[in-house]
Amino acid sequence: MNTETRRVAVVGANRIPFARSNSTYAHASNQDMLTATLDGLVARCSLQGERLGEVVGGAVLKHPRDRDLTRESVLGSRLAPDTPAYDVQQACGTGLEAVVLVANKIALGQIDAGIACGVDTASDAPISLNDDLREILLDLNRAKSTGARLKALTRIRPGQVVPETPRNEEPRTGLSMGEHTAKMALEWGVTREEQDELAARSHQRLAAAYDRGFFDGLVTPYLGLERDQNLRADSTAEKLSKLTPVFGSRNGDGTMTAGNSTPLSDGASAVLLASEEWAREHGLEALAYVTEAQTAAVDHVHRGEGLLMAPVYAMPRMLDRAGLSLADDFDLYEIHEAFAAQVVCTLKAWADPVFCRERLGRDAPLGEVDADKLNVNGGSLAAGHPFAATGGRIVGGLAKALHERGAGRGVVSICAAGGQGVVAVLEKPES
């Protein structure tokens, strides 16, 4: 067995502009958006008819028809139909996990190139039957006689003919992600001002990145949309301060609004990863290399830990293995902005000596992150957050940002529902 590992390069990325739910992409399915995104990457990297080692992707909100979503999207794309594909799902961490899975196979020499992708639509969310009605219909399907069928039908009551839409709450706590984050914000003393300033900065930086052409090689227009629909270039902390709190306001202490929380969104993203040899053979430049990754989970059910704090635990495990320092060894930081409060809680935890000693078992805090290096081209608060597509958006953007710098190192941190988190390191060596 070959025990040597290969460097894994990010050689291309593509996404469609993210749309607010129930708007531009209201009638586009997961498969529609993912296929379009893959074809945009195919066109950008000249992959027409190419058989890749694997395409790995997923969605959080899936219909039964999405059983083989990634494979069906590949079959609908201009990639070679004999390119294998499979689905993964880890809530908001899906896209980054897909990157890690493809990168690991390339590193081990099992494949030479692959695509990591993700898609989600909150507009076309699956709607389930009432459980009682579903049981009746199943019994109706099993019935062998007309009498048995009629008997099953007589059990239907008007109140059962009500569909069940996906619930935005944690199954084991009954609280929404926003309500969980509001508890985190209260625990860490996160102010409204901190959140609104971070949100405004996200919009301003995303707008500036679009204006200077940063996304020209990363975003393919779709259904008439050319920029992320949630983007508000004129956003300011002062304007955001006028919005009414929507989470955690039962006791008059709410700080989380629609402006400093990500909106429900639709969109897809894809990242092309490859070995250096494959990239050279195909005339593609290495934008950056995926060098490390780590996952973690917290017990938000029994120990009452913050639902979105898992990356806080994943980060030191990864950094220790890589021999890196959070505060000193990174040029760029990408922290997924599920909520502005979540980002601030994460930063406060890494800089807090008591938390780092008691929860992370460290003699000293990880350190403070320079705001000038954080989400320099905007984040999820401005772009939107189609759950499984966020990882690809961040990895593609960070790889290009490092490539523009000519050299450097960046870190990605993504929180996920269920008390989980994924972190990763990208590097661009000096040439």
Span of 60-64, 278-282, 291-295, 392-396 with lowest mean pLDDT = 60-64
Q: What are phi and psi of 213, to 5 degrees?
A: 85, 15
Percent of the chain with pLDDT strictly greater than 90: 84
Q: Is the pLDDT of residue 165 over 90?
A: no
Q: Is the pLDDT of residue 100 over 90?
A: yes
Confidence of residue 163 (pLDDT cuts 50, 70, 90): low
Q: What are phi and psi of 163, to 5 degrees?
A: -70, 155
Higher-confidence position of 163 and 147 = 147
Provide the pLDDT for residue 342. Answer: 98
H or E segment to which residue 195 belongs: helix 192-211
- The 10s digit of each residue's pLDDT in 108-162 is 999 999 999 999 999 987 766 677 777 877 887 888 888 888 887 788 877 776 6
- The 10s digit of each residue's pLDDT in 303-356 is 989 999 999 999 999 999 999 999 999 999 999 999 999 999 999 999 999 999
- The 10s digit of each residue's pLDDT in 235-268 is 999 999 999 999 986 556 689 999 999 999 999 9
DSSP for 110-174, written as a single string? S-SEEEEEEEEESTT---BPPHHHHHHHHHHHH--SHHHHHHHHTT--GGG---BPPP-S-TTT-
Higher-confidence position of 67 and 397 = 397
Q: Is the pLDDT of residue 167 over 70?
A: no
**N residues, the chain:** 431
Provide the pLDDT for residue 303. Answer: 93
Q: Are strands 288-297 and 332-335 parallel, antiparallel or unpaired?
A: unpaired
DSSP for 74-102, written as a single string? HHHSSS-TT--EEE--BTBTHHHHHHHHH
Residue positions annotated with a catalytic role: 92, 385, 415
CA–CA distance, 313 with 321 (Å, rounded to integer)? 13
Q: Which of 271, 278, 272 is nearest to 6 (CA)?
A: 278
Higher-confidence position of 397 and 166 = 397
Q: Which of 430, 393, 1, 379 is nearest to 199 (CA)?
A: 379
Q: Is the pLDDT of residue 370 over 70?
A: yes
Provide the pLDDT for residue 178. Answer: 93
Q: Is the pLDDT of residue 431 over 80?
A: no
CA–CA distance, 36 with 285 (Å, rounded to integer)? 23
Percent of the chain with pLDDT strictly greater than 70: 96
- The 10s digit of each residue's pLDDT in 3-43 is 689 999 999 999 999 999 999 999 999 999 999 999 999 99
Q: Is the pLDDT of residue 1 over 60?
A: no
DSSP 58: -
Looking at every residue in the chain, the average pLDDT score rounds to 94
- The 10s digit of each residue's pLDDT in 184-195 is 999 999 999 999
Q: Which of 345, 333, 395 is nearest to 369 (CA)?
A: 333
Tokens 């139909």 label which residue? 81
CA–CA distance, 340 with 343 (Å, rounded to integer)? 5
Provide the pLDDT for residue 248. Answer: 81
